[in-house]
Chain A
Amino acid sequence: MAPVRTMLLWCPDWPVIAAEIVDGVSAATPVAVLYANRVVAASASARAEGVRRGLRKREAQSRCPRLTVLDHDPGRDVRAFEPVVAAVEEVVAGVEVIRPGACAVAARGPSRYFGGEERAAERIVEHVAQTCEVESQIGIADGVFAAGLAARSGRVVPPGDTAGFLAGLPVEALGRPGLTDLLRRLGLRTLGDFAALPAGDVLARFGFDGTLAHRLAAGQDHRPLAVRRPPPDLAVTETYDDPLDRVDAAAFAARTLAERLHETLGGHGLACTRLGIEAVTAHGQELRRVWRHDGLLTAAAIADRVRWQLDGWLTGTSRRPGSGRVGPPRPTAGIIRLRLVPEGVLAHVGLQPGLWGETGAERERAHRALNRVQGILGPESVLTAVLGGGRSPADQTRLVPWGDERAPGRPAAPPWPGRLPSPAPAVVLPEPLPAAVYDAAGELVRVTARLAVSAPPARLEVAVPAVDGAGSVAPGAPVEIVGWAGPWPVDERWWAPAEARRRARFQVGLTDGTALLLSLAGGRWWVEAVYD
């Protein structure tokens, strides 16, 4: 398969141009964009004063004292490049963004449509310049890699001539500093020299990445273009002249907006699993909450969620207990803008209800109730447990927010030696309670490295968390131990010192009929779980 004839649009010094577009730093003055104290890009006037890529900040400033130094911001580059891609898309279809500042299209379609590759290139460059006021160059060659190099000089490499074009270029063009350094020392100065090496030897000496570079140097760019599909704008927005401050008015607004969103999604044959609800109040406060759903959101379901959310925002403060985190404060004014953003969009393959409908109905009802609770307390407050592998009861269980994917925290498949025998404890303490176990003589029971118990455990003192909640613990009353088993050693992750845990576990039965799971780690006793 021959490489795809590719047309690549390249905007020189893109980080500098992006800074001009976004931050208003004029690219006509000496400007350099630095990342990790090295120059990444410089404006033309800075280059004229001797500022080069890879210079340190001090050195660049000494060569050009008037230099404006900017931090590299990939986000800024991408944001500024988006209108350029849109402008290219207005002229040709099937654009792939290579990186901010460079995008590629398959050359065949545009060249036929505009009557020649040069004319298509001219048309694109002109349109980009008119629409975005951005200078750009186009290179055309076989394959993205060669087209990228051709774009540096604005060349059109004739079909089939790409290998010859590449052969004359220095090996630095590969953009792999480690490899090019080595190639230079081996006396290979051009891509042609490198490409002349036998492929098998290159694989043996330079590994997989070296082979890839070798193929690129030979003009065999087999990567097909992964074209960017313009995302359909699915979000629906509504602005209200009278701020919504009552729940019933908000509910009515929610209903129409939800139906519009549902229609849009249905028109594209899509469904969404997460729904982002954004609201802006009259005072400019922005509120946002994402709702998850592991089934399909119908129009009524979307409307319900929006209504609950607006209800929550307009009437209540959502204070999350336990975590001590306070939810977003109540808005100080009515809502003037409402936006529904479908996230996690998937193709509507159709969610099958149960054959006789009951699964669907029960499920729908339960999900509605649970989503309602998520609206009151926040999405992380309704959980579902997933069992996986692990040696302690707390490790085996993973709690995931309701509606998220139920994937276990650890695979259940490995044997997990040292797992607890059945039955599993019904009460698993999220935080183990400190305890102390004494023998008949009143000495703290210890376990030697060879797992010998110093003396049979006789009494247990479990610390009781103090009522003041300050995290302090007070020793509880001692209870007599009537039966015990252990020690069962658990030695986990000894290969990773930071996570290594070495414990000895005991089951103990107390006089009052209670059974506990205790563990001894580093000379301290803990209550891990209760067989309640």
Chain B
Amino acid sequence: MAGRMVVGSTALAELVRPASGSDPTGAHQLLPVLPELAGLLPNRGLRRGSTVAVGLGHPARSGSTSLMLALLAEASRAGSWCAVVGVPTLGAAAAADLGIELGRLALVPHPGPEWATVVAALIDGVDVVVAAVPGTVSASVVGRLAARARQRGSVLVPYGRWAGADVTLQVIRGAWEGLGQGRGRLRRREVTISARGRGAAARPKEIRVWLPGDGSSRTGRVSSAGVVPPSGGPAVAAPPGVGRTGSRRAALTVVGTSD
């Protein structure tokens, strides 16, 4: 009896392998991303060991922070640990709305001159490390951090100018909806995200998504902070031509794809 139990548990232990294990077999190598963003990434997910940069948008404030958070969201929800270095202005409520588990999100707002050391230390243990790039970073540091991420199986997400990323995502345009002259409120924003990179991601791609999407269509999740529109108007109807599926999560919705 005892022998059988031991055998049974060994068999189970082989079936269920820790997600963080360093074995290089297929599925464990990918961290999930929101399905709307999957099309931009070569393997439809964040490949462990890769470097996925988020570039600053063209008008500086047109959605790059939301894009960075959206990139983390699905992996964080699936149980990965994330860290954000050097972004003291991060809005935690927005992160939680996008689906990031705040209990597994560490913030290092002021890494100071130890930036490279801190990022390297985080790569050792955290699945996704977002690092706001301070000014200029020397090519040797870039190479060292990328190599470290590759070796440890973490995903490095430089946030800012970064040479040598596998994929660089960038917000090209962002347009808000819902704000009138003295009425309405910000409801959702259509952003155009471009992806370019090397290897499998060499062909530039572009998608349009709602980021953030219209909160009214979010049925399953209500953030703990809650939302009460002071104007209390009805939800904006989806504009014609928007391919919104009836998905549960509409924090992010694909508007169209143009390769």
Instruction: Tell me if B117 counts as interface (CB < 8 A to partner A).
Output: yes
The A-B contact count (CB < 8 A) is: 238
Instruction: Tell me if A530 counts as interface (CB < 8 A to partner B).
Output: yes
A358-B19, A488-B230, A514-B62 known; A382 and B107 CB under 8 Å? yes
Which one, B81, B90, B212, contacts A362 given CB within 8 A? B81
B91→A370 contact, CB < 8 A: no
How many Å lie between the Cα of A531 and that of B225 in the bound state?
17
Instruction: Tell me if A484 counts as interface (CB < 8 A to partner B).
Output: yes
B112→A321 contact, CB < 8 A: yes
A515→B18 contact, CB < 8 A: no
Instruction: Tell me if A519 counts as interface (CB < 8 A to partner B).
Output: no
B102→A322 contact, CB < 8 A: no
Write out, one digit per residue, whether chain A residues 369-407 have a CB within 8 A of any chain B CB (1) or not (0).
110110011000111111101100100110100100010
How many Å lie between the Cα of A418 and that of B230 in the bound state?
7
Which one, B92, B106, B117, contacts A387 given CB within 8 A? B92
A421→B230 contact, CB < 8 A: yes
Number of interface residues of B (CB under 8 A): 76
A321→B107 contact, CB < 8 A: no
How many Å lie between the Cα of A406 and that of B93 in the bound state?
15
- The DSSP consensus for interface residues of chain A is mixed
Which one, A365, A508, A513, contacts B62 given CB within 8 A? A513
B92→A453 contact, CB < 8 A: no
A369→B121 contact, CB < 8 A: yes
A366→B126 contact, CB < 8 A: yes
Instruction: Tell me if B83 counts as interface (CB < 8 A to partner A).
Output: yes
Residues in A with CB closer than 8 Å to B176 are 483, 509, 513, 515, 531
Which one, B20, B111, B184, B223, contacts A358 given CB within 8 A? B20
Instruction: Tell me if A427 counts as interface (CB < 8 A to partner B).
Output: yes
How many Å lie between the Cα of A356 and that of B122 in the bound state?
25
A362-B18, A385-B95, A515-B176 known; A422 and B227 CB under 8 Å? yes
Closest 9 CB pairs of A and B: A321-B112, A369-B125, A483-B179, A385-B92, A322-B110, A422-B227, A424-B93, A422-B215, A358-B18
Q: What are 20 inter-chain pairs, A to B, with CB distance below 8 A?
A: A365-B81, A365-B124, A369-B125, A370-B125, A376-B121, A377-B112, A381-B108, A385-B102, A387-B225, A402-B106, A421-B185, A421-B230, A421-B231, A423-B215, A426-B65, A428-B93, A483-B181, A509-B179, A513-B173, A531-B189
Residues of A within 8 A of B (CB): 319-323, 356-359, 361-363, 365-370, 372-373, 376-377, 381-387, 389-390, 393, 396-397, 399, 402, 406, 412, 415-419, 421-430, 453, 456, 483-486, 488, 507-509, 512-515, 529-532
Residues of B within 8 A of A (CB): 12-13, 16, 18-20, 59, 61-66, 69, 79-81, 83, 88-97, 102-114, 117-118, 121-127, 173-176, 179-189, 212, 215, 223-231
